[in-house]
């Protein structure tokens, strides 16, 4: 959401993540954070009148979060972000609790960058990268409603968080804030702030009401005055969004605002848009007059020139002295040239449909789309198969058949290069049941994929009337005893569940699968599960060290925010009317959160790299200075201060023996990237945002006329929204280590395809080389989609990396002639932690060991993908007998170390 942001919680009553979507998302839903009429609060005098409803915060013992993503605020000394909200303590918490926080990622944070806390005696506190408040007010909050404000300030050294409680009305919308009640500082400063989260801890108890949330970059934006609003500036209320050339762009709405960002309803003010940079042909109405709400809506704009642009909005008439507004960048591309091909024939075979079509163009890429509804809009048709037309312009493609589909329709299309298939997969299969005679029996499947259809089987025979995700038998009898399966299908493919047997009998329970021993780090989540059979209903009771756990009465025992005193022996008793059974004890081992800084010395295939060590030192602040320094002969240490905008596609590093290192927390390379074609290079502590062109990489290591990139160490860098790859290694580059880096991307609007691909090794099946590369302790975060890494030909070691890029296609891929060793990595909620992709040549190999895969899925999502268990034998000595010395972090410690220390602006380049 753009800043400033105002949230009146004007939603229907219900769970915040449900009724507040899409503004509020991620986290976990629950009525612990719920929009409620009862939580609507009255603002203090002089403050704007409260609107909408409020949020009732009522921790129940389960951690819950609602996440608001706002416009990224990059780290730059002096930048600030303010948060204000109304708070009423109905009942204080039983212990000190984290209520809300700011951070640079959307995951759960026990030690956020800026945390707002509430104590059992009703006092308010703040923390900086801490699980407890470093400053707490002297006096508790009294009854009634209170205005709470906290601020995060980027500054030299450690960043700072300040707190205000009930600031005087005279300070509302002031240019500068009053003196804060107190502040805290702390290390591990972020490269940006991107997310605000409301939070309930796993500790139950207490009720608070929250309302009128505001986020802004100034005090005036977050703490506005409630009197008649005074217009002072323009702001972009919506848009712009990416679009296509010579087509109407998504509407752009410009709002008259106060200095604090509050909307001003002033009708009849002319607002004019201009495009920056100049040079593109623009059509549509560029001057609009504001409506009764003070908004100017531009809904007929078109741009004829592809590129990345920004709108500048300026007011005329009474607003000629107001501050203008500048939009966020947006990209306009040439539209895809879709064309329907002639479908000559569709022949039905027992297992597939043969579709034959053609066009006048040989060698043309063609997609086969399918749908069970011929009238469905084009966006609802699924990609079934693809290929290229033969020399005569004809093409033959096969579409799978399934008895779960009564009908299917097909069409051939060109103009889109996508090869991503979305076949169904089974997440939770039906399980065997035992019920007493006359009792109901229900089988259920939980499946993934679009446009799903179901067909149940009994002993392999279809049940034509059973076409839902559940199969319900109202009163089971011996005649119903059988093996049941379900076919889950869409037009792309189908999958059949394993047989689940129904027995109609009276039998005591027995354990099928015991809970397993667990080793976790304090603050993590522990999950024990048990599988049992016996006549339903079965009841479950979990025990710790022989003592029953209250409320632990299901097949799974979840322990959130594990503490060291949770360690012990866990087992479960399963019972029904005919007897009981005990599982074997499972041991939970809890280790303390690591406190010592990690070892960040150079490891991997780039061992021995010295960069510019021993050479001269130069400081650069502009692209011209950086480019000149990279061309100097001899060893140099190039210190980058602040953000540098690279106006070319790349800044080339063509001379060996260079260290390019950012100073402090805000050094970065924007626009273009770095291209390395030299030996003995170190790149460290830099933020990369390569957006100059569609093929821009943050860093490219390859070959040029000056040489080949070899012996290169990239350490503690952050890569954000780079348009092609974040860091690619191609054209024979060799002996590279990538360590302690963070990779992430911006959200992509619906219908827009972007290249969120991270690390490519070898650019094609002809780009041969040895490619000895190490990736360790890197964070592959939000919206990373593929190539983490994708390896052709290389000998690649991937260890101790953290993956939480939910919504991805795959993480690690082995391809032609590659060998990949995957060790002690931590995968959370991702698809295909590793896979093989088969094209030409010898299929790649992959050996995986010591990894943790939590809530991950596996799917053949495009042609050529082979799902593998990671047990290939590696044959190259560089990954076996001759592998370099290295130290593995215990896998359970990877999330803490990587999320705490990966990326630019972190230890050891910035210390507390």
Q: What is the DSSP string of 305-351?
A: S-EEEEEEEEE-GGGTTSB-EEPPPEEEEPPP--EEPEEEEEEE-SS
**Residue 680 region, left (φ>0) first, then alpha (ψ -120 to 50), else beta?**
left
Q: Which CATH architecture fits 510-591?
A: Sandwich (2.60)
- Distance CA(198)–CA(208), nearest Å, equals 12
User: What is the pLDDT at residue 337?
Assistant: 61
Cα–Cα dist 741/903, whole Å: 5
Does this model's pTM top 0.75? no
* Alpha helix (H) residue ranges in 654-703: none
Please say if the pLDDT value at position 728 is more than 80: yes
**pLDDT tens, residue by residue, 640-665:** 988 887 878 889 999 999 999 999 98
Does the active-site annotation cover 787?
Answer: yes
How does residue 583 score in pLDDT terms, banded at 50, 70 and 90?
very high
pLDDT for 693 equals: 64
Distance CA(540)–CA(650), nearest Å, equals: 62
pLDDT at residue 260 in the model: 60
pLDDT at 617 over 80: yes
Residue 255: closest CA among 285, 225, 232, 224 = 232
Whether 510-591 and 339-414 are alike in CATH topology: the answer is: yes
pLDDT at 707: 84
**Cβ 653 vs Cβ 676: under 8 Å:** yes
* Dihedral (Cα; 42, 47, 53, 57), 10-degree rounding: -80
**Which residue bears the tokens 């779960």?**
404
Nearest to 150 by CA among 123, 120, 183: 183
What is the band of 36 on the pLDDT scale with cuts at 50, 70, 90? Answer: very high
- What's the pLDDT band for 692 if we cut at 50, 70, 90? low
661 and 691 Cβ atoms separated by less than 8 Å: no
Alpha helices in 377-447 (DSSP H): none
Q: Scanning the structure block, which residue is given the tokens 């096969």?
A: 398
Superfamily of domain 425-504: Immunoglobulins (2.60.40.10)
| pLDDT surpassing 90 at residue 199 | yes
DSSP assignments along 249-272, one per residue: PPPEEEEEE-TT--B----S-EEE
- Candidates 23, 156, 158, 161; CA nearest to 103 is 161
Cα–Cα distance, 114 to 103 (Å, whole number): 7
Q: What percent of the chain has pLDDT over 90?
A: 67
Dump pLDDT digits (tens) for 750-795. Answer: 545 567 899 999 999 999 999 999 999 999 999 999 999 999 999 9
Q: How many Cβ atoms are within 10 Å of 329's Cβ, its own excluded?
A: 14
The pLDDT of residue 719: 95
Per-residue pLDDT, 313: 95
Q: How many CA atoms lie within 13 A of 844 on its CB side?
A: 32
Greater model confidence, 91 or 377? 91
Q: Which residues make Cβ contacts (< 8 Å) with residue 232, sequence separation at least 6?
A: 257, 258, 259, 322, 323
> Does residue 749 register a pLDDT over 70?
no
User: Is residue 882 predicted with pLDDT exceeding 90?
Assistant: yes
Superfamily of domain 233-333: Velvet domain (2.60.40.3960)
Catalytic residue among 65, 787, 795, 845: 787
CA end-to-end span of the chain: 31
Burial class (CB in 10 A: 0-12, 13-18, 19+), 854: middle
Q: Compute CA 797 distance to the chain's CA centroid, rounded to the nearest angstrom.
A: 24
Helix (H) or strand (E) holding 713: strand 710-715
Give the mean pLDDT of the chain: 91
Cβ burial, residue 672 (10 Å; 0-12/13-18/19+):
buried
Span 616-901 CATH architecture: 3 Solenoid (2.160)
Query: For residue 238, what pLDDT band results from cuts at 50, 70 and 90?
Result: low
Residues across the chain: 912
Predicted confidence at residue 694, as pLDDT, reads 62
Q: What is the pLDDT of residues 431-481, one digit of tens each?
A: 999 999 999 999 999 998 899 999 999 999 999 999 999 999 999 999 999
Distances from the Cα of 885 to the Cα of 602, 712, 773, 880, angstroms: 11, 18, 14, 11
Q: Provide the 10 A C-beta neighbour count for residue 317.
A: 11
**Residue 62 phi/psi, 5° resolution?**
-115, 130
Would you call 489 helix, strand, or coil by DSSP?
A: strand
Residue 673, token pair as written in the block = 């990237």
Domains of the chain by residue range: 5-222, 233-333, 339-414, 425-504, 510-591, 616-901
Asked whether residue 796 carries a pLDDT value surpassing 70, the answer given is yes
State the maximum Cα–Cα separation within the chain, in Å, rounded to a whole number.
Answer: 87
Going by pLDDT thresholds of 50, 70 and 90, the confidence category of residue 675 is very high
DSSP secondary structure of 745-781: -----TT-----B--EESSSTT-----EEEEES-EE-
Query: In the 8-state DSSP scheme, what is residue 418?
Result: -
Is pLDDT of 518 > 60? Answer: yes
CATH architecture of the domain formed by 5-222: Sandwich (2.60)
Q: Selecting from 2.160.10, 2.60.40, 3.20.20, 2.40.360, what CATH number does the domain 339-414 have? A: 2.60.40
The answer to whether the CB of 350 falls within 8 A of the CB of 426 is: no
Of the candidate ranges 145-154, 326-335, 370-379, the one whose mean pLDDT is the lowest: 326-335
Degrees to nearest 5, angle at CA 729 with 728 and 735: 140
Q: Do 679 and 707 touch, CB atoms closer than 8 A?
A: yes
Edge-first strand listing for the sheet containing 192-200: 24-28, 64-74, 192-200, 97-103, 114-118, 124-127, 135-136
Beta bridge partners of 331: 308
Q: DSSP 3-state assignment of 17?
A: helix
pLDDT in tens, 247-270: 888 788 898 987 766 678 899 999
Pick the closest to residue 229 from 278, 266, 195, 191 (CA basis): 266
> 413 pLDDT band (50/70/90 cuts)?
confident
Residue pointed to by tokens 């603050």:
523
Structure tokens at 763: 């650019």
User: Angle at the Cα of 634 (from 631 to 635), degrees rounded to 5?
Assistant: 100
**Residue 338, pLDDT score:** 64
Q: Is the dihedral of CA 472, 478, 479, 484 positive or negative?
A: positive
């Amino acid at each position: 959401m753009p800043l400033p942001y105002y949230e009146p919680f004007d939603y229907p009553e219900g769970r915040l993540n449900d009724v507040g979507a899409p503004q509020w998302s991620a986290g976990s839903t629950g009525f612990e954070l719920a929009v409620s009429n009862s939580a609507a609060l009255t603002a203090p005098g002089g403050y704007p009148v409260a609107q909408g409803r409020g949020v009732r915060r009522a921790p129940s013992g389960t951690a819950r979060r609602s996440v608001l993503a706002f416009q990224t605020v990059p780290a730059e000394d002096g930048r600030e972000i303010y948060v204000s909200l109304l708070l009423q303590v109905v009942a204080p918490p039983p212990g000190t609790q984290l209520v809300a926080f700011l951070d640079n990622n959307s995951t759960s944070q026990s030690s956020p960058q800026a945390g707002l806390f509430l104590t059992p005696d009703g006092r308010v506190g703040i923390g900086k990268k801490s699980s407890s408040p470093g400053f707490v007010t002297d006096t508790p909050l009294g009854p009634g409603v209170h205005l709470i404000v906290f601020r995060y300030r980027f500054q030299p050294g450690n960043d700072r968080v300040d707190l205000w409680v009930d600031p005087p009305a005279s300070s509302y919308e002031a240019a500068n804030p009053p003196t804060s009640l107190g502040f805290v500082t702390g290390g591990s400063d972020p490269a940006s702030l991107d997310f605000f989260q409301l939070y309930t801890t796993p500790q139950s108890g207490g009720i608070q009401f929250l309302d009128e949330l505001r986020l802004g970059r100034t005090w005036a934006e977050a703490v506005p005055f409630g009197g008649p609003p005074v217009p002072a500036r323009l702001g972009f209320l919506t848009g712009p969004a990416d679009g296509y050339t010579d087509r109407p762009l998504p509407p752009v709405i410009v709002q008259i605002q106060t200095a604090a960002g509050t909307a001003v309803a002033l009708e009849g003010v002319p607002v004019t848009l201009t495009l920056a940079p100049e040079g593109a042909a623009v059509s549509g109405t560029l001057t609009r007059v504001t409506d009764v709400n003070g908004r100017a809506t531009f809904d007929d704009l078109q741009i004829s020139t592809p590129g990345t642009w920004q709108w500048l909005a300026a007011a005329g008439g009474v607003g000629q002295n107001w501050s203008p507004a500048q939009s966020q960048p947006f990209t306009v591309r040439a539209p895809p040239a879709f064309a329907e091909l002639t479908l000559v024939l569709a022949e039905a075979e027992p297992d597939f449909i043969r579709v034959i079509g053609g066009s006048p163009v040989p060698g043309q890429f063609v997609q086969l789309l399918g749908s069970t509804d011929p009238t469905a809009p084009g966006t609802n048709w699924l990609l079934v198969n693809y290929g290229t037309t033969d020399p005569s312009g004809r093409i033959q493609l096969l579409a799978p058949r399934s008895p779960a589909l009564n009908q299917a329709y097909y069409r051939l299309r060109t103009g889109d290069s996508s090869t991503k298939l979305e076949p169904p997969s089974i997440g939770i299969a039906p399980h065997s049941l035992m019920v007493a005679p006359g009792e109901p029996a229900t089988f259920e499947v939980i499946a993934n994929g679009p446009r799903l259809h179901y067909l149940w089987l009994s002993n392999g025979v279809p049940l034509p009337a059973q076409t839902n995700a559940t199969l319900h038998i109202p009163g089971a009898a011996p005649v119903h005893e059988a093996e049941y399966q379900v076919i889950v299908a869409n037009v792309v493919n189908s999958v059949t569940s394993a047989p689940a047997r129904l027995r109609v009998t009276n039998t005591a329970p027995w354990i099928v699968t015991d809970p397993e021993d667990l080793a976790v780090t304090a603050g993590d989540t522990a999950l024990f599960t048990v599988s049992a059979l016996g006549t339903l209903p079965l009841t479950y009771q979990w025990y710790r060290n022989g003592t029953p756990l209250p409320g632990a009465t299901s097949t799974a025992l979840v322990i959130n925010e594990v503490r060291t005193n949770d360690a012990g022996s866990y087992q479960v008793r399963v019972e029904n009317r005919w007897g009981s059974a005990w599982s074997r004890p499972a041991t939970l081992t809890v280790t303390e959160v690591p406190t010592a800084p990690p070892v960040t010395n150079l490891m991997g295939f780039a061992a021995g790299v010295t960069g510019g060590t021993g050479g001269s030192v130069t400081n650069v602040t502009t692209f011209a200075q950086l480019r000149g320094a990279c061309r100097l002969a001899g060893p140099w240490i190039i210190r980058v201060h602040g953000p540098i905008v690279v106006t070319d596609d790349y800044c080339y590093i063509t001379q060996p023996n260079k260290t390019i290192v950012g100073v402090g927390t805000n050094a970065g390379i924007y626009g273009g990237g770095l291209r390395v074609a030299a030996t003995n290079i170190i790149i460290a502590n830099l933020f990369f945002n390569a957006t100059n062109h569609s093929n821009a990489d943050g860093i490219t290591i390859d070959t040029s006329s000056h040489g080949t990139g070899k012996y290169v160490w990239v350490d503690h860098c952050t890569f954000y929204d780079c348009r092609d790859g974040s860091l690619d290694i191609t054209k024979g580059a060799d002996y590279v280590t990538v360590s302690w880096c963070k990779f992430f991307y911006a959200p992509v609007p619906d219908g827009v395809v972007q290249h969120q691909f991270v690390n490519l090794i070898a650019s094609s099946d002809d780009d041969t080389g040895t490619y000895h590369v190490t990736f360790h302790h890197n964070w592959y975060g939000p919206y990373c989609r593929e190539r983490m890494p994708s390896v052709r030909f290389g000998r690649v070691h991937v260890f101790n990396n953290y993956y939480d890029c939910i919504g991805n296609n795959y993480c690690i891929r082995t391809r032609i002639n590659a060998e990949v060793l995957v060790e002690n990595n931590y995968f959370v909620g991702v698809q295909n932690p590793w896979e093989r992709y088969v094209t030409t040549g010898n299929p790649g190999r992959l050996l995986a060991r010591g990894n943790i895969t939590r809530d991950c899925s596996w799917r053949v999502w495009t042609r050529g993908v082979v799902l593998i268990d990671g047990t290939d034998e590696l044959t190259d000595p560089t990954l076996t007998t001759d592998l370099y010395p290295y130290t593995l972090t215990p896998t359970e410690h990877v999330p803490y170390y990587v999320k705490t220390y990966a990326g630019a602006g972190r230890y050891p380049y910035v210390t507390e």
